[in-house]
Structure 1
Amino acid sequence: MFKRILVATDGSTLSKRAVASAISLAAQHDADLIALTVVPRYATTYFDGAMTFSHEDVARIEKQWAERAQEMLGAISTRAQAAGVRIKTAAISSDRVADAVIAASKKHKSDLIVMASHGRNGIKRLLLGSETQHVLTLTTLPVLVLR
């Protein structure tokens, strides 16, 4: 039924369960899996809740976030391959999570999006419940939301 499944993840406990479900679903349907994480950009104004750091410090912080995202995607890739699932991974840097998820689903010609109902809070957030709601509202694809 499904040929390409995109799973959006932020590494949270709930998101990890969504990844496990997406891997299982991809294996059942012999579908390709695209694992996506959206890496936020560091807030640069007081209005966005930022502390002021030098450009070098901001670049270092964003690099650390990107490296953690790649490590997480590598672990997902290993799990998917062990289950016999073909997988691609993508880390996108964006402040607009829902838009990035929808754009990735179009780019990869996905026919299903899988994501958790909510993610982390605070500075570590990558996906938020409101982002899931935005994806549900803005996409024409089916979305499997896991709680």
Structure 2
Amino acid sequence: MYQRILVPTDGSALSKKAVKSAVDLAASLGAEVIALNVVPRYPQSYFEGSITINRDEIARVEKQWAEQGQAIADEVGKAAAKAGVTARGVTVKSDLVAEAILNAARKHKCDLVVMASHGRKGIKRLLLGSETQHVLTHGNIPVLVLR
């Protein structure tokens, strides 16, 4: 049925729920898990009067964020190994989380995305946005959404 499952994770309790479900599903299907952590780029402001930040400092912070993101993705690999599932941890740098998820799904030839959603409705969803909604509406592979 599914051969490669992508599970985006940020290490939060909600995303850990998606990770557990993805690993359990992969174990039952004999599928591989790709754990994805999307790391933001360092915000740079060019407004008049703003403080300029040394490029070396920006590089240091982005490297630190990337290492933390990779550690989160690698934790999924450890959990998957305990369940007898093959898994890879992947980190990408992007400010557009949903686009990064869709791109990773295409790049790694995933045939299912398992992700969590806060289940926000109404004005909260409009104000806070929904990465899950974007993945659902712009992707072309099945998405299993957990709350």
* Counterpart Cα distance in 2 of 1:110 and 1:64: 28
Shift in Å, 1:30: 0.6
1:52 & 1:131 partners in 2: Cα distance?
Answer: 31
One-letter identity of the residue aligned with 1:141? I
Q: Which residue of 1 aligns with 2:20?
A: 20
* Partner amino acid, structure 1, of 2:96: R
Partner Cα separation in structure 2 for residue 55 and residue 101 of structure 1: 28
Percent identity (aligned): 56
Sort the Cα spacing of 1:51 and 1:94 in 2 relative to 1 into closer, same or farther, 3 A.
farther
How has the CA–CA distance of structure 1 residues 101 and 51 changed in structure 2, closer, same or farther, with 3 Å as cutoff? farther
Say if 2:106 is the partner of 1:106. Answer: yes
For 1:74, the equivalent position in structure 2 comes to: 74
Give the TM-score normalised by the residue count of structure 2.
Answer: 0.85
Report the equivalent of 1:63: 63
Kindly provide the amino acid, as one letter, of the partner of residue 78 in structure 1: K
Partner of 2:94: 94
Contact kept, 8 Å, 2:38 with 2:91, in 1: the verdict is yes
Equivalenced residues, count: 136
For residues 92-147 of structure 1, the C-alpha deviation after alignment (integer angstroms, 9 at most, x for no partner) is 001111111111111111110011114xxxxxxxxx86211111110011111111
2:76 maps to a residue whose letter is I
- Whether the 8 Å contact between 2:74 and 2:88 is mirrored in structure 1 is no
Alpha-carbon distance in structure 2 between the residues aligned to 1:91 and 1:74:
10
Contact 1:117 1:129 in 2 (8 A): no
Q: Which has the larger radius of gyration?
A: 2
Which residue of 2 is the match for residue 85 of structure 1?
Answer: 85
CA contact (8 A) 2:8 2:101 kept: yes
Tell me how far 1:53 sits from its aligned partner. Answer: 2.5
For 2:30, the aligned partner's letter is D
Pair 1:52–1:146, CA change in 2 (3 A):
farther
For structure 1, the 5+ residue unaligned runs are: 119-127
Residue 63 of structure 1 aligns to which amino acid in structure 2?
A: K
Residues 20 and 129 of structure 1: CA distance in aligned 2, closer, same or farther (over 3 Å): farther
Partner of 1:143: 143
String of CA shifts for 1:61-84, please: whole Å, max 9, x gaps: 111111111111221111101100
Structure 1 pair 29–95 and aligned structure 2 pair: CA distance change class (3 A): same
